[in-house]
Each structure stands twice: as structure tokens, then as C-alpha cells.
Amino acid sequence: MKLKKDSTEQKLRGAYYTPQQLATDMVRLFETDDIKSVLEPSCGDGVFLDALSEARLLGKIHSIEAVEIEEDEAKKVRGRYDNAPQVRVFNEDFFDFYKEQLGKKTYDLVLGNPPYIRYQYLQEKQRECQAQILKSHGMKSNKLINAWVAFMVACIQLLSEKGKIAFVIPAEILQVAYAEDLRLYLADNLAKITLITFEQLVFPDIEQEVVVFIGEKGNEEKGIRIIEMKDLSGFDTLNLNSNGFQPMQHVREKWTKYFISKKELDLIQKLKSDNRFSEFSDYGLINIGITT
């Protein structure tokens, strides 16, 4: 068993920084949008701010706010953008920042890579704040839930009326039980959801499969779609305005079902309701045998 005291500082903070190429590719998806305000809730070394600068968007965006809990990192990022008055870097816990801004300010785009921190590695104050965020939006809070879940819920609350969120998150959002409430919450609060998956690992230093989650608020629900890429080169031909959305089911079920077409999904539903077929659960209990 690996104890908390034996874990690296990087793991305790969930500080696995986004590769520059991925940040650049994500920012490029929004470079033609009319975006006036941006939030980066866990800016780390400032890679997403650098991507915005590289895309020459700093002059077009009125307000860019970045939050970073580590003082040294916040100081370095703040120093790089001293000459950009529209960029403000806050050295504080994002959960505290969220409580200060909720109901006062919204953002057209929230983007970044939230920290992947297991419950047992959070401080007691952070656990309480995470539980408050989740429970106040009708979700359960337990010791299995990772910090990135609460980050997503909080950030969606800070979106403007037609705001967008673009996050790098663990691929486990598609199916793990502890994200059931999150999947329902996202379906209920976003008009469009795009999930970009990769065959190859995006983070070179960690064995963590990730997806790029893009959500958009709006009055008309378009649904959900999953775009499968081999690697980051797939961004070169990606058009976020193209169609391919499936109707979203407002349930807690796994999102792996959206990897198949609507026609295939309809067939599965038809088979499930056909009394000529039985389910395995009619004959015995089905449980996971071993987990790591």
C-alpha cells in the first residue's frame, strides 16, 4: 500500500502539466469565436495563457483570469504577463476563488487542465468545499470522487449564457461509477458536448488516458458526440461546427454507448426490450473481480 506520506508532491497536487502542443490545439478551436472573458482555473506553468498569446488572442480578449494555488508558479506566470493588463493571475485555491466569483462574474470560455487529486490527498477544508459544490447541485459526495469533478461543476456554474468549457480530463469520465452524477449534471446543463479521445497517450510522463471535453451552453440542445483521434495531429482537420451529435440521454449511464452510431444504439435498445432475450443478471450476480 502506498501511503500519502510516500507520494510525490506532484501527485499530491495533481500537477501534471499540459503539453504545449495540446494547449495550442485546444485554443485554436476557439480563435474565431467572439470571446470577451476567459478563466483558467488551475494555470500551473501558464501553458494555456501561452497558447492564447501564441494565437494572438490577448489583444482581442478583454479579461483573462488565471488561478494557481502554488505561489512560485503564480509568481512566474504573473511575471511573464506584466505587460498584458487584461491578464490577472490569482494565487489562491480555486475553490475559494469560485466562492468569491459565483453570482458576480461569468466567463465566455473556461479552459485548462484541472488537477487530478484523489480525495485522501485533499486538505480537510478542500474536502468540505468540494462536498458543498457537489451537494448544492444535487450530486453525491464521497471518498471516491477526484478533485477534477468538482472543478468541472464549479466552472460550468461560472460560464456565461452561451459560454464554453474546454478541459483535459481523465478518460474515466466515460464510465466510472463515481462520475455518474457528473454525467447527468453535464447532460442537464450543457447544450452540446464533444469528447475527443486519443489512441496514443497524450501525456508522455504518466500512464493516464485523457480526453478533451468541450461543452457549450445554449438554448437549443444539440446532444453529444465522440471524436476519436490517433494523436494530436487530428486537430488539424477538426471542425467544431460540424455535426454528428447524438441526442443526449439524461441518465447516469456510461457514455461509452455514444461510441456507436444512433442506428446501432437503437438496435441495442430494441434487443433489450425484446422478451425473447435474457440478461446475464437474470441468472446470477455480476461483479468486478479485481481492481487495481
Spell out the domain ranges in the chain.
Answer: 4-282
Residue bearing the bigger pLDDT, 144 or 83: 83
How would residue 5 be classed by pLDDT, with cut points 50, 70 and 90? low
Assess whether pLDDT exceeds 80 at residue 159: yes
Give the model's pLDDT for residue 11.
47
Interval 201-216 mean pLDDT:
84
Asked which of 63-77, 85-99, 274-288 is least confident by mean pLDDT, the reply is: 274-288
Torsion sign, CA atoms 43, 46, 51, 56? positive
How would residue 189 be classed by pLDDT, with cut points 50, 70 and 90? very high
Q: How far is C-alpha 44 from the geometric centre of its chain's CA atoms?
A: 16
Could you tell me the pTM of the whole model?
0.85
pLDDT digits (tens, 9 = 90+) for 253-289: 889 888 887 788 789 889 989 999 988 888 998 876 7
Give the model's pLDDT for residue 206.
64
Give the model's pLDDT for residue 292.
60
Give the model's pLDDT for residue 13.
47
Query: Taking the domain 4-282, which CATH number applies?
Result: 3.40.50.150
pLDDT digits (tens, 9 = 90+) for 49-58: 999 999 999 9
